[in-house]
Amino acid sequence: MPVKGDTSPNRWEHFPHDADVGIRGRGSTLADAFEQAALALTGIVTDAEIDPRTSVEVTCEAPDVEVLLVEWLNSIIYEMAVRSMIFGQFKVTLSNTRLQGSMWGETIDQAKHLPACEPKGATYTALRVAQEPDGTWSAACIIDV
Amino acid sequence: MDPARFTRIDQTTWQIEPTGAMRVPGVIYADEDLIRAMDDKVYEQTTNVATLPGIVKAVYVMPDAHWGYGFPIGGVAAFDADEGGVISAGGVGFDVSCGVRTMLSHLKVSDIAPVQKQLADSLYQQVPAGLGSKGAITLDPFEMDAMLKGGARWAIERGWGETRDLARIEERGQMAGAEPSCVSNRAKERQRREMGTLGSGNHYLEVQAVTEIFDEEAAASFGLKQEEVVVTIHCGSRGLGHQIGTEYLRDMLPAAAAAGIALPDRELACAPIKSEVGQRYLGAMRAAVNCALANREIIGHYARRVFVHFFPNTDLTLLFDVSHNTCKVETHKADGASRQLFVHRKGATRAFGPNHSDLPEALRKTGQPVLIGGSMGTGSYVLAGSPSSEEKSFASACHGAGRAMSRHAALRQWSGRQIVDDLAERGILIRSPSTRGVAEEAPGAYKDVGAVVMAAEQAGLARRVARLRPLICIKG
């Protein structure tokens, strides 16, 4: 299970967009890339450490893996909003275009997490989920903030 | 963008001739420098929107345009339902009815100066801002539906606002046709505790000074006086609007396919206005408009409470409240006839010119106030809709400065702490839960708002009335 700040080959990054933020997760498997994309989503909000105090489970389904990435990220955004939480660890299990996700985190605390901005929704812009020539997986899209 | 890609009609009008699947031309209003600085994605997205069924006249693009979702931000497009016209969730945006209101305090800058710091602290305390902030209002299912139907009128009936405000809010504060039953329980759940919160990103509450007047007569009719203080609020429909945008974008993908609409970009997902999904989205989107109108009314009420505490005889009066992420049914002249059109404005402000029947009597002679947010360091503008805006852009104008640089690049260039200190030295007090958020919103990350409004004026969309400089900025 990847933890924020992990040094494994799995990793995430942000890429520029005029008004918003692009996120990209990379991993040795598609599920790893989805977990990394989730960490990139949290990275929009905060650089602070997050205690894995509470876990939340979600399931999503979509017609293809690209829309599934958007659904997964939007389900995290939803849980963040209604629970007023921030998540620092994710676990994804995939079976075709059905996803089972677990996330661990804590109640957001302005003093501790210094949240920069709130993700409004994952978009289909710059949406790309693909296996790269080197065999690793990449999962990317723009997040409206 | 390379200016050579356009047919230049005049100094500030750049036309993309229809080619391929484009049904209408694209028209960008900007000066040459703004055109050169614009992302090529604006060109691409403009031509994509021009391919959608039932589009009327042209896709219009405002001087502050930048790369958006399907539609460029700063895009205006009108559709005729009788000609297979569509409605697009991306053409409205995730933050449905995000907008700006400006209230007049009738105080002088010199009245504020002795208590500026305390005023900033009180506003920051009273107006929940940023992720993780909590509103004081929790809505049960009954109240949620009442809010979604009632808009600002609902807020006023509950004691969070003044009846006299209604005349100066678009739709008289209450959008007709809202259908709470078209809003999912998840969207309602996201909003349950978010009423009266500012949000984050580029949303703010500012105390501003009128620092320059361009049009004495219009300024007088708007009640704007040199060195007087106003309060401006920029925010939208919060979690509810975001969730509606997210869900309907997803639902419109199969709807577009079922209607045989070839989408050049998935983000352009849309549904025929005369379809089940189209009608449901309209009902939900209008409910989200009411949510945004109620939210700004409540935050305005909080600002009033704080001002009365410091200045017992003050009365904040509403100049105007206008949204810049909407789709509205309006009557416009197109192809020689008066037609009822569904006008999408994504990052564009309605800008009715003088004598428009929709304007309240007090504003009819001057035209509609068009409120333009700049960055927290440079200031904002109040414009008035021009008589030619109807012909030029379905009565629309720009909405802000527009970003010149990504958040990513801004973070690399500036420290939030430094910006707060620098602005404090210039008499601008920033209050925000996040220094990183401040860095991402650095004044230098935005285009020159002065150039944007000048281009809007030269293009005949709206004329400048006054410039406002910030004194206090509460940033989410």
Domain borders along chain B are 3-404+446-475
pLDDT score for B380: 96
- pLDDT for residue B202: 87
Q: What is the pLDDT of residue B407?
A: 87
- Determine the pLDDT at residue B322: 98
- The gap from C-alpha B320 to its chain's centroid, in whole angstroms, comes to 12
- Please tell me the least confidently modeled range out of B14-23, B151-160, B162-171, B334-343: B334-343
Report the candidate in B148, B295, B303 with the shortest Cα–Cα distance to residue B236: B295
What would the pLDDT profile of B67-85 be if each residue is shown by its tens digit?
888 999 999 999 999 999 9
Q: What CATH code is assigned to B3-404+446-475?
A: 3.90.1860.10
B403 contacts in chain A (CB < 8 Å): 18-19
User: What is the count of residue pairs from A and B with beta carbons less than 8 Å apart?
Assistant: 128
Coil, strand or helix: which one is B283? helix
Q: Please state the rounded mean pLDDT for residues A12-23.
A: 89
At residue B384 the predicted structure's pLDDT band, cuts being 50, 70 and 90, is very high
Section A132-140 average pLDDT: 95
- pTM (2 decimals)? 0.96
The verdict on a CB contact (< 8 Å) between B269 and A120 is: no
Check A125 against B70: CB less than 8 A apart: yes
Contact A19 B68 (CB under 8 A): yes
Cβ of A115 within 8 Å of Cβ of B434? The answer is yes
pLDDT, one tens digit per residue, over B402-440 is 888 888 889 889 999 999 999 999 999 999 988 899 999
Residue by residue, DSSP assigns B303-335 as HHHHHHHH-TT---EEEEEEESEEEEEEEEEET
Residue B356 is given by DSSP the state -
Contact: B433, A115; criterion CB under 8 Å:
yes
Q: How many CB atoms lie within 10 A of CB A121?
A: 25
Q: For chain A, how many helices (H) and strands (E)?
A: 3, 8
Q: Which residues of B are catalytic?
A: 399
DSSP B342: E
DSSP class per residue in A102-139: EEEEEE--HHHH-------EE-STT-EEEE-TTS-EEE
Beta carbons of A115 and B249 less than 8 Å apart? no
Residue range B370-393: mean pLDDT, rounded: 94
Q: What is the C-alpha separation between B100 and B371, in angstroms, rounded?
A: 6
Task: Find the helix or strand (DSSP H, E) in which A80 lies.
Answer: helix A65-83
Residue B163: Cβ-neighbour burial (10 angstroms; 0-12, 13-18, 19+):
exposed
Q: What is the pLDDT of residues B16-27, one digit of tens each?
A: 999 999 999 999
Q: If you count DSSP H runs as helices and E runs as strands, how many of each does chain B have, helices first?
A: 16, 19
Q: Is the pLDDT at B228 greater than 60, yes or no? A: yes
Using CB atoms, which residue from B95, B192, B267 is nearest to A124? B267
Residue B140's contacts (CB-CB under 8 Å, 6 or more residues apart) are none
- Tell me which residue in B66, B131, B407 faces A108 most closely, judged by beta carbons: B131
Q: Can you tell me the distance from the alpha carbon of B396 to that of B370, in angstroms, rounded to the nearest whole number? A: 9
The domains of chain A, with CATH numbers, are: 28-144 (3.55.10.10)
The neighbour count for residue B458, using CB atoms within 10 Å, is 17
> Is the predicted pLDDT of residue A5 greater than 70, yes or no?
no
- Looking at CA atoms only, how far is residue B243 from chain A in angstroms? 7
pLDDT category at B137 given cuts 50, 70, 90 is very high
For A121, the closest of B67, B200, B246 (CB atoms) is B246
- By CB atoms closer than 10 A (0-12, 13-18, 19+), residue B167 is middle
For the cut 90, the answer to whether the pLDDT of residue A117 exceeds it is no
Please tell me what DSSP assigns to residue A72. Answer: H
Option in B41, B132, B267 nearest A123 (CB): B267
Mutation to test the B interface, candidates A118, A128, A145, most B Cβ within 10 Å: A118
Average pLDDT over residues B451-462: 97
Identify the band that residue B13 occupies on the pLDDT scale cut at 50, 70 and 90. Answer: very high
Distance from CA of A91 to the nearest CA of B (A): 23
Averaged pLDDT for residues A30-52: 96
> What's residue A137's pLDDT?
96
For the segment B352-377, the average pLDDT, to the nearest whole number, is 94
What is the C-alpha separation between B452 and B267, in angstroms, rounded? 27
This complex has an ipTM of: 0.90
Q: Please check the confidence at residue B236 and state whether its pLDDT lies above 60.
A: yes
Q: Is the pLDDT of residue B400 over 60?
A: yes
Distance from C-alpha of A31 to C-alpha of B53, rounded to nearest angstrom: 38
- Give contacts of B124 with chain A, Cβ < 8 Å: none
CA distance B168 to B318: 7
Per-residue confidence (pLDDT) for residue A3, from 0 to 100: 55
Q: What is the pLDDT of residue B406?
A: 86
Cα(B317)–Cα(B230) distance, integer angstroms? 9
Left if phi > 0, otherwise alpha if psi is -120 to 50, otherwise beta: which for B272? beta
The CB density around residue A112, as the number of other CB atoms within 10 Å, is 16
Q: Do A108 and B476 touch (CB under 8 A)?
A: no
Length of chain A in terms of residues written: 145
For residue B275, how many other CB atoms are within 10 A of its CB? 19
Q: How far is B56 from chain A (nearest CA, A)?
A: 25
Half-sphere exposure of B111 (CA within 13 A, CB side): 17
Please tell me the predicted confidence (pLDDT) of residue A2. 54
Average pLDDT of span B124-152: 94
The residue among B356 and B335 whose pLDDT is bigger is: B356
Please tell me what DSSP assigns to residue B347.
S
Å from A61 to nearest chain B CA?
A: 12
Residues of A in contact with B269 (CB under 8 A): 124
